[in-house]
Amino acid sequence: MSHEPRRFAGPLLLTYCALAAIFLLLLLKSAEVNDRSVVTPQEFEIAFPKVMGWIQKTLLAHERFARPIRSKNFQRLPLYFSPAQIEAAKYVVVDRIPIPPLSSIGLSRFAEFERGDYGGITYLDTYFLKRAGANDESLHFHEMVHVVQWRVLGAERFLALYANGLEAFGYRNSPLEKIAYDAQGLFDHSAAVFDAEKLVAEKLGSLSIPRP
């Protein structure tokens, strides 16, 4: 009996060591993924002014093409947003949606996002729509949700949250897009009118928002 522990000590020790090594590798792999899943504060500090500079130039270049939301004479949209928010927002119809050159400013891992063919995108209080969706009230609603997000969060926090969410979850499941798509789903499939600005503010309040 006294010899049995010594007889199995070698195999047991090897088994435990192997399990420990596998567990350590899993932890390291998890840490590696987590490190890639967010834009670091240093990266954001460098990228933010460049992205904002590009946004300001893009808005200025399209300023004469921007139209007020009220010009569409939508029947439902004004029921979901305050008159002040409707008045403040603008839209621009384009052939191709302008996307920031993220790869050229050091964020090459967003190259797939740059190549995306989107129906719309929002910068500050202005959103861009492809011609095919210019009269789509639902698409206007979706982008108006982003206008509210920009206003509530401010530019730095919006871009930090969008970038981190995009990398961690992909476009469709990133937190800001999920809020917009979920609200759009309510707009599309429910006759009940709701306060979209209040809904967005509440959803944002429940998120863990990075401080740039």
pLDDT tens-place string over residues 101-122: 988 888 888 888 888 888 999 9
pLDDT tens-digit series, residues 46-94 = 899 999 999 999 999 999 999 999 999 999 999 999 999 999 999 999 9
pLDDT tens-digit series, residues 163-199 = 999 889 998 999 999 999 999 999 999 999 999 999 9
Residues 89, 128, single domain; the answer is: yes
Q: Is residue 210 included in any domain, yes or no?
A: no
Kindly give the interhelix angle for 175-189 and 155-169, rounded to the nearest 10 degrees.
90
Residues 45, 18, single domain; the answer is: no
Residues 141, 47, single domain; the answer is: yes
Residues 44, 31, single domain; the answer is: no
Residues 21, 125, single domain; the answer is: no
Residues 45, 15, single domain; the answer is: no
Q: Is residue 26 included in any domain, yes or no?
A: yes
Q: Is residue 211 included in any domain, yes or no?
A: no
Residues 98, 30, single domain; the answer is: no
Residues 13, 94, single domain; the answer is: no
Residues 8, 62, single domain; the answer is: no
Number of folded domains that form the chain: 2
Residue ranges making up the domain that contains 1: 1-36
Q: Is residue 199 included in any domain, yes or no?
A: yes
Residues 115, 130, single domain; the answer is: yes
